[in-house]
């Protein structure tokens, strides 16, 4: 190995540092010519990279201690380059040493490799896509919107004025620290996907045919049929001469697509602030063909979704930004259904919590 003397420095200019480090690099090159055995490689490593008495440590200590502050960075950069060169020579020597290659006899290439399991759609996502696909085939586009909404879009523009009793039925999760804002600007977790309906109408004139799937949030205690997080699909159709008959025909077709052609639908009067008239929709039980069973509580019918004709008041809010929504010239219908509930019906799931548990023993049944 080369002599242990540290090359002297005749100054701290970049040219002098380049000269000094080039001299040491030449020394590395000479000492690396004979690295044919593991013993020689280990000796080379200890000589240059030893933590206590390695040559690089000695050079670094000698030059850095005496260097003025403005030269320390220049020395450090060159020292790191020199250290990397030493390590690369060691790696190349080890890679070219005899016996470095894998011993083919220790690897049985006939054994099967580790195969990554193929995933499958979650039952919620599968139901989501199935419902949305039905309406897309009827010419509906898909709308999305924020989960953190303002009070204006979640309530006020949908005909839930301040103090309206229907607000109390929503069990809203509000964002903290909003008290100083006007009520309409306060942020909350959306309680339905209906805000996307008014947002869509503000952005484009009629005709509109849109279906809106998404996650919603309510302050519900978790049990077998309730969760503070769940999913909805809502729809909106607006054009001239849209009637309740169009609404009934659309939902009857959708339910037959979803549950089978033998399913029947029936409508009962209901109330929603943003539709007038409003209706609840029941389907004949797809499990007992309407004869009565435990799933339909022996009634032969299952209540599945809500709907109605868009209230003219909602069009008036949309008209503030899109004048084409004149309730005297256009009409429309809206509907909404819970994806979670439909998934539970289709796949015989008795506890909504299973959909959110992440338990692979449960989810693998749907692969």
pLDDT, tens digit (0-9, with 9 covering 90-100), for 276-306: 999 999 999 988 888 888 888 889 999 999 9
211 and 359 co-located in one domain: yes
pLDDT for res 125: 94
What pLDDT shows up at residue 98?
62
Average pLDDT value for residue range 157-172: 80
pLDDT at 22 over 60: yes
How many residues belong to the chain? Answer: 367
Residue 1 pLDDT exceeds 80: no
- For residue 251, is the peptide bond before it cis, meaning its omega torsion is within 30 degrees of 0? no
- 100 domain residue, yes or no: no
CA trace torsion 289, 292, 294, 296 (10° rounding): 70
Both tokens of 77, joined, read 């950069």
Flag whether 49 is in a domain: yes
pLDDT at residue 97, as a whole number: 66
Say whether both 85 and 129 belong to one domain.
no
What would the two tokens of residue 246 be?
A: 């169009």
d(CA 63, CA 81): 15
Cβ neighbours, 10 Å, residue 106: 6
Please name which of 239, 197, 246 lies closest in space to residue 331, comparing C-alpha atoms. Answer: 239
74 and 220 in a single domain? The answer is: no
Collect all residues with Cβ–Cβ distance below 8 Å to 294 and sequence separation of at least 6: none
Query: Within this chain, do residues 39 and 166 fall inside the same structural domain, yes or no?
Result: no
Question: Is residue 330 a contact partner of residue 239, using CB atoms and an 8 Å limit?
Answer: yes
Q: Are residues 166 and 228 in the same domain?
A: yes
Check: CB of residue 231 under 8 Å from CB of residue 336.
Answer: no
* Mean pLDDT (whole number) for 241-250: 96
62 Cβ contact partners less than 8 Å away, ≥ 6 residues apart: 6
Residue 118 or 348, more confident: 348
Same domain, 211 and 80: no
More confident residue, 324 or 164: 324
CA 230 to each of CA 213, 319, 355, 356, 362: distance values in angstroms, whole numbers, following the listed order:
11, 31, 10, 9, 18
| pLDDT at residue 3 in the model | 44
Residue 151 has pLDDT above 60, yes or no: yes
Is 333's pLDDT higher than 50?
Answer: yes
- Co-location of 169 and 270 in the same domain: yes
Whether this prediction's pTM lies above 0.85 is answered by no
pLDDT at 47 over 50: yes
In Å, how far are 97, 221, 310 from 243, measured between CA atoms?
84, 38, 10
- Mean pLDDT of all residues in 268-273: 93
Answer yes or no: do 80 and 218 share one domain: no
Q: Mean pLDDT, the chain, as a whole number?
A: 88
CATH code for the domain of 128: 3.30.930.10
- Domain total of the chain: 2
Q: Is residue 117 part of a domain?
A: no
Which residues lie across from 211 on neighbouring strands?
A: 142, 235
**Residue 37: inside a domain:** yes
Predicted confidence (pLDDT) per residue in 117-139, tens digit: 777 889 999 999 999 999 999 99
Q: Tell me what percent of the residues of the chain surpass a pLDDT of 90.
A: 49
State the residue range of the domain holding 155.
Answer: 123-366
Q: How much is the pLDDT for 61?
A: 83
Query: Tens digits of per-residue pLDDT, 58-115?
Result: 888 888 878 888 888 888 888 888 888 888 888 888 777 665 554 555 677 787 877 7
CA torsion 38-42-45-50 (nearest 10°) is: 160
């Amino acid at each position: 190995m080369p002599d242990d003397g540290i090359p002297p420095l005749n100054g701290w200019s970049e040219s002098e540092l380049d000269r000094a480090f080039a001299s040491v690099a030449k020394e590395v090159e000479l000492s690396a010519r004979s690295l044919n055995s593991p013993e020689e490689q280990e000796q080379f490593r200890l000589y240059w990279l030893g933590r206590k008495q390695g040559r690089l440590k000695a050079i670094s200590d000698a030059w850095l201690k005496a260097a003025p502050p403005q030269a320390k960075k220049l020395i450090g950069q060159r020292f790191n380059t020199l250290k990397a060169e030493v390590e690369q020579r060691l790696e190349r020597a080890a890679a070219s040493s005899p016996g470095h290659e894998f011993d083919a006899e220790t690897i049985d290439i006939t054994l099967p490799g580790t195969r990554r399991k193929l995933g499958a759609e979650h039952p919620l996502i599968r139901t989501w896509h199935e419902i949305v696909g039905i309406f897309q085939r009827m010419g509906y586009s898909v709308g999305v919107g924020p989960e953190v909404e303002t009070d204006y879009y979640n309530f006020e523009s949908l005909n839930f004025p301040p103090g309206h009793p229907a607000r109390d039925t929503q069990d809203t999760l509000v964002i903290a620290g909003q008290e100083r804002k006007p009520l309409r600007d306060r942020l909350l977790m959306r309680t339905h996907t209906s805000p996307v309906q008014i947002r869509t109408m503000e952005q484009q004139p009629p005709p509109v045919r849109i279906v809106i799937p998404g996650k919603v949030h309510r302050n519900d205690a978790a049990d077998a049929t309730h969760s503070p997080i769940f999913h909805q699909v809502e729809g909106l159709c607006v054009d001239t001469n849209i009637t309740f008959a169009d609404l009934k025909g659309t939902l009857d077709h959708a339910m037959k697509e979803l549950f089978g052609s033998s399913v029947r639908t029936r409508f009962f009067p209901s109330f929603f602030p943003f539709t007038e008239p409003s209706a609840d929709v029941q389907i004949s039980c797809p499990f007992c063909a309407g004869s009565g069973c435990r799933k339909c509580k022996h009634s032969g019918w299952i209540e599945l979704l809500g709907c109605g004709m868009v209230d003219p008041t909602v069009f008036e809010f949309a008209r503030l930004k899109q004048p084409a929504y004149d309730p005297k010239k256009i009409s429309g219908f809206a509907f909404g259904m819970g994806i979670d509930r439909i998934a539970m019906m289709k796949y015989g799931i008795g506890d909504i919590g299973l959909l959110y548990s992440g338990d692979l023993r449960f989810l693998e049944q749907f692969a």
